[in-house]
Amino acid sequence: MADKPNVVNNLEVDRLMSIVGAVQQNPDLGKTLWRANTRWLGGFQSEANIRGFTIKMDEPPDLAGSNTAPNMVEMVLGAYGCCLQTGYAMNAAVMGIPVDKIEIEVEGDIDLPGFFGLEPPDNVWPGFTTVRAKVFLKAPTASKEQLEELHRRVTSTSPVGSILARPVKVETQLVSRRSV
């Protein structure tokens, strides 16, 4: 009879540790490539296709959109919140901390004159100038010290947090087509 898997926070801890161990032994396994394809649907509506999932995006009415879906910067905020939740669930499981609930409120500031091109980027940045997250974590058996260590681990290793916090090299190439 097989051993019952060590499951904490609905995650198989041994499986997580096996993946971490494989990357630790062979760091090249950790060099991954992620992809998304997007398609314009007209107006401000678009969709992203990611690993077979379709995610629609649109602008709100106060930006002349039709409000059929979240906009792109809202998706970034959502991605950061979900990335943090993944980090809390995973790190807590590895630390042996059962978590009952994780909720995260994320908000960010954008100056529209930068986005609209009314000011040069040197004067008004077109992207987020500040992103704030509040983490509501319910882990009744964890000590204050464990929660502080968990928070430090999560915030220092969040891929989306790192993308937001540090400059990333972006290369965008225009491939002009008369027909698709």
Report pLDDT for 132: 98
pLDDT (0 to 100) of residue 42: 97
Do the Cβ atoms of 114 and 124 come closer than 8 Å? yes
SS (HEC) of 11-64? EEHHHHHHHHHHHHHCHHHHCCCCCCEEEEEECCEEEEEECCEEEEECCCHHHC
Return the pLDDT at 2.
Answer: 65
Average pLDDT, the chain: 94
Tell me if the domain spanning 7-33+71-165 has CATH number 3.40.50.720: no
* Whole-number pLDDT of residue 1: 59
In Å, what is the CA distance from 125 to each residue of 11, 29, 116, 120, 130?
Answer: 40, 36, 11, 8, 11
For CA atoms 18, 24, 26, 28, give the dihedral sign: positive
Using 50 as the pLDDT threshold, list the residues of the chain that sit under it. none
Q: What is the pLDDT at residue 120?
A: 87
Look up residue 21 and give its two tokens.
Answer: 């161990």
What pLDDT is attached to residue 180? 60
